[in-house]
């Protein structure tokens, strides 16, 4: 007996079902970045592919950053929050329960995204293995000038990170950082470490936690822009990095 002839979906002229694209949100914590937070939010709002959510929290700024943030509250996908100042880790943890997407990308209040950032990132996430908690790539570095303009410096090209030792020897922060939301929640969010009461190096602290049980994926793409300026919290506290590492090894 001759077996029946099986037809493919294309032979039947039936469309193949497309896999749903991973959902991605953006979260931003702002402290005293009134001069730059508007540009950061605008770069998230005016994406070619919109993020599912744009979550912005003012961490008790002493300048008028909150007034700049409130201008965006009626834009689609934007949710804004305000709290007393407790540091970036706590501020991001306050946003985490509001994240409803598969992935969430952190955008600093003084940085900005290329217009095609979300569409590029979603394409990368389509093929991300389930045991990967973080996608990252490269970023452009810009120097803030006194006249308000920015000067392009270079591309900081990333490299694969597989261990805590790799992470602590990395020559610049991983970026952009696109977290798998479930992994971030399972890790308990951003750790409030004893050093400076969790107010510094929250990105390194959470990555050190995540890499214990999950993998990171470096891919060669550039959609994130870092603004280097004198008011940067990282720049102002650069001399504290050795003490932070020493405390990690002494605990």
Q: What is the pLDDT of residues 213-236, one digit of tens each?
A: 999 999 999 999 999 998 787 777
Q: What is the pLDDT of residues 75-132, one digit of tens each?
A: 999 999 999 999 999 999 999 999 999 999 999 999 999 999 999 999 999 999 999 9
Q: What pTM value is reported for the model? A: 0.89
Residues 40-66 have a mean pLDDT of 97
Residue-by-residue DSSP string for 170-236: -SS--EEEEEEHHHHHHTTSS---TGGGGTS-HHHHHHHHHTTTSEEEEEEEEEEEEEE-TT-HHHH
Is 144's pLDDT higher than 90? yes
Taking the C-alpha atoms of residue 126 and residue 123, their distance in angstroms, rounded to an integer, is 5
pLDDT at position 116: 98
pLDDT at position 167: 93
pLDDT at position 13: 54
Nearest one of 126, 127, 220, 203 to 167, comparing CA atoms: 203
Residues 34-43 have a mean pLDDT of 97
DSSP state at residue 243: H
Taking the C-alpha atoms of residue 163 and residue 145, their distance in angstroms, rounded to an integer, is 37
Which one is predicted more confidently, 57 or 236? 57
Contact 140, 227 (CB under 8 A): no
CATH number 3.40.50.1100 is the correct assignment for the domain at 24-250: no
Where exactly are the structural domains of the chain? 24-250
């Amino acid at each position: 007996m001759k077996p029946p002839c099986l037809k493919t979906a294309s032979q039947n002229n039936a469309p193949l079902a497309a896999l749903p694209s991973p959902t991605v949100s953006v979260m931003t914590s702002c402290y005293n970045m009134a001069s730059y937070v508007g540009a950061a939010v605008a770069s998230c709002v005016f994406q070619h592919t919109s993020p599912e959510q744009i979550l912005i929290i003012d961490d008790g700024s002493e300048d008028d950053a909150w007034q700049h943030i409130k201008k965006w509250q009626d834009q689609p996908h934007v949710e804004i929050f305000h709290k007393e100042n407790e540091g970036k880790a706590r501020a991001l943890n306050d946003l985490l329960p509001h994240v409803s997407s598969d992935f969430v990308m952190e955008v600093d209040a003084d940085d900005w995204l290329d217009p095609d950032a979300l569409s590029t990132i979603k394409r990368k996430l389509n093929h991300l293995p389930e045991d990967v908690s973080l996608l990252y790539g490269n970023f452009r570095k810009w120097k803030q000038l006194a006249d308000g303009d920015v000067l392009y410096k270079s591309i900081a090209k990333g490299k694969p990170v597989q261990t805590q030792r790799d992470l602590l020897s990395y020559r610049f922060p991983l970026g952009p950082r696109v977290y798998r939301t479930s992994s971030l929640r399972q890790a308990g969010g951003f750790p409030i470490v004893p050093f400076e009461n969790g107010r510094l190096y929250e990105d390194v602290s959470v990555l050190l936690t995540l890499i214990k049980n999950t993998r990171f994926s470096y891919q060669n793409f550039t959609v994130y822009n870092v603004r280097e300026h004198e008011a940067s919290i990282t720049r102002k506290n650069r001399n504290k990095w050795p003490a932070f590492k020493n405390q990690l090894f002494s605990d």
